[in-house]
Structure 1
Amino acid sequence: MEDQREKAKNFQDLLVWQKAHQLVLAVYRLTDAFPKHELFALTSQLRRAAVSIPANVAEGFRRRGLKDKIRFFNIAEGSLEEVQYYFILAKDLGYADTRLITEQANEVSRLLDSYSRTMRARLAADSNS
């Protein structure tokens, strides 16, 4: 992960951003089929939370300090958890089969966790030197 971060020229080069962006596109396709009465409720909330994931990765990428970068990745992780809950709700309400999109979200979660762990380890190493 660290090697890719060093090679990244912009946030779009990050695999975690690419996968999170693909998740957003999948969320938009999924929610297109939700009932119309959910447009300003679950549909809007799910889309907003999903968009927050790659948006915070992008914002964190440009931040200078590791603490600031970590903070934005933490926000992205929180938004992803919110999305995971909305998938459960959509499934339980009978709006969608969320198995495949949940797998996509799990992949994003693993990547976010890996990037966050790498940054925290780097921060710890910097503070010990």
Structure 2
Amino acid sequence: MPLRSFRDLIVWQKAMRLARETYCLVKLLPMEERYALSDQMRRAAVSIPSNIAEGQSRNTKKEFIQFLHIAKGSNSELMTQFLLCLDFEYLKKEEIQKVMKLCTEIDGLLGGLIKSLKTNLV
């Protein structure tokens, strides 16, 4: 069955779940981080599914790949920010386990999709 929409992509679906989970977790950050780290984490989380969607909606595979790389970068940025929350003891390991697993899955899916698109680029 051919891909009809970005919404059909499992990586987009997981990225949407990651964004929802991120929004829930940043509410647990201390008040002094509510407008700094929290805002940055929300932007990174929203950037992942947004770039997947925008890239899939573009005219060429080359453009899609470019947007997938941006999503991959935002995913790594978000992972780093969750690890910082752990280091700063803003969040507990148990609290971020689910999102870290999602980030890892998304990274692999994005990498696989990029590789597949590059292989079929010709």
Shorter-chain TM-score bucket reads over 0.9
Task: Give the paired residue count.
Answer: 119
Aligned to 1:109: 107
- Counterpart CA distance in 1 for 2:35 and 2:25 is 15
* TM-score of the two chains, using structure 1 as the length reference: 0.88
Distance in 2 between residues matched to 1:110 and 1:11, nearest whole Å? 17
Structure 2 gap segments, 5+ residues each: none
Deviation digits for residues 105-125 of structure 1, max 9, x if unmatched?
1011111111111011111xx
Distance of 1:16 and 1:114 partners within structure 2: 10
The Cα of 1:26 is off from its aligned counterpart by 0.5
Residue aligning to 2:120: 122
Give the RMSD, CA atoms, in angstroms. 1.0
| Equivalent residue number for residue 86 of structure 2 | 91
Query: Alignment partner for residue 2 of structure 2, among 4, 7, 17?
Result: 7
**1:18 is aligned with what amino acid?**
Q
Task: Name the counterpart of 1:57.
Answer: 52
Write the letter of the residue equivalent to 2:105. E
> What one-letter code is carried by the residue in structure 2 that aligns with 1:60?
G
Aligned to 1:77: 72
Provide the rounded CA distance (Å) in 2 between the counterparts of 1:111 and 1:10.
17
The letter for the 1-side match of 2:99 is I
Listed as ranges, the gaps of 5+ residues in structure 1 are 1-5
1:44 is aligned, of 28, 33, 39, to: 39
Question: Which of 21, 24, 28 lines up with 2:19 in the alignment?
Answer: 24
What does the per-residue CA deviation read over 1:57-112, in whole Å, with 9 as the maximum and x for residues that have no partner?
A: 00001111111110000000010110011011000111112222101110111111
Distance 1:12 1:96 in 2: 31
- SS at structure 2 position matched to 1:71: helix
Q: Percent identity?
A: 38
